[in-house]
Structure 1
Amino acid sequence: MSMRWERAVADGLPADVSHAFGIFDRTLCGIQQVGMSPSDHWWLPERENVCGACREVAGVIDGRWPQAMRDEDARVSVARRL
């Protein structure tokens, strides 16, 4: 899970909580901010300041992801392809 998600970056997001970028200007937990983007850094679910709701959603999504697509070589940012 820690090799697939980027940290969300946007004005208005609290700096003390790490949110995972989803798609369409939203975090995985549903916060929407115009102009939100993925950072160049991974979102790490094991950190202390991680959003618990983002961690939960990432776990559900990753649990459904095909096993063959879970290694580092399969990591692709969906948002950067849009």
Structure 2
Amino acid sequence: MECDVCGQAMWQWPVVPTAWEEEIWSCLWCHATTHVGGEWFEISRPQYLPVEMRWERAVADGLPADVSHAFGVFDKTLCGIQETGMSPSDHWWLPERANACGACLAAATAIDGRWPQVMRGEGARVSVARRL
């Protein structure tokens, strides 16, 4: 599948099929996500979010407590750390905090720059509802 944001190839998540048989695709370049199938949509495309609202804080036993890392896609931090049992927390990763990982911030800024301005507005990514 081709990314509707940047035109790069997307990667399909190896998810266990659910009752709704949803596929999840993520762009390796701009990290846009597309959901195909599911109960409510044929195609669901989450809108652009700025850096300070886009990433959750990563949590895992092996991560140092004094550094805040952003949980990216593919079960890694944005700076590339992968720990067993890593997951996103219920809290935003706040890049303006003093303990925010500098490498995560650099990656988040680079990813944000890959989203064209025309794809950042409301309604730029169209979701297609299933017709009954």
TM-score (norm 1): 0.78
Distance 1:65 1:35 in 2: 30
Which residue is 2:27 aligned to? none
Which residue is 1:29 aligned to? 79
By relative contact order (CA 8 Å, sep 6+), the higher-ranking structure is 1
Number of residue pairs matched by the alignment: 71
TM-score (norm 2): 0.50
Which residue is 1:42 aligned to? 92
Unaligned runs of 5+ in 1: 72-82
Matched, 1:18 2:68: yes
Sequence identity (%): 79
Unaligned runs of 5+ in 2: 1-50, 122-132
Deviation at 1:8, TM superposition (A): 0.3
Matched, 1:5 2:55: yes
Structure with larger Rg? 2
1:63 alignment partner, one of 113, 117, 127: 113
The secondary structure found in structure 1 opposite 2:89 is strand
Deviation at 1:69, TM superposition (A): 5.8
Deviation at 1:11, TM superposition (A): 0.7
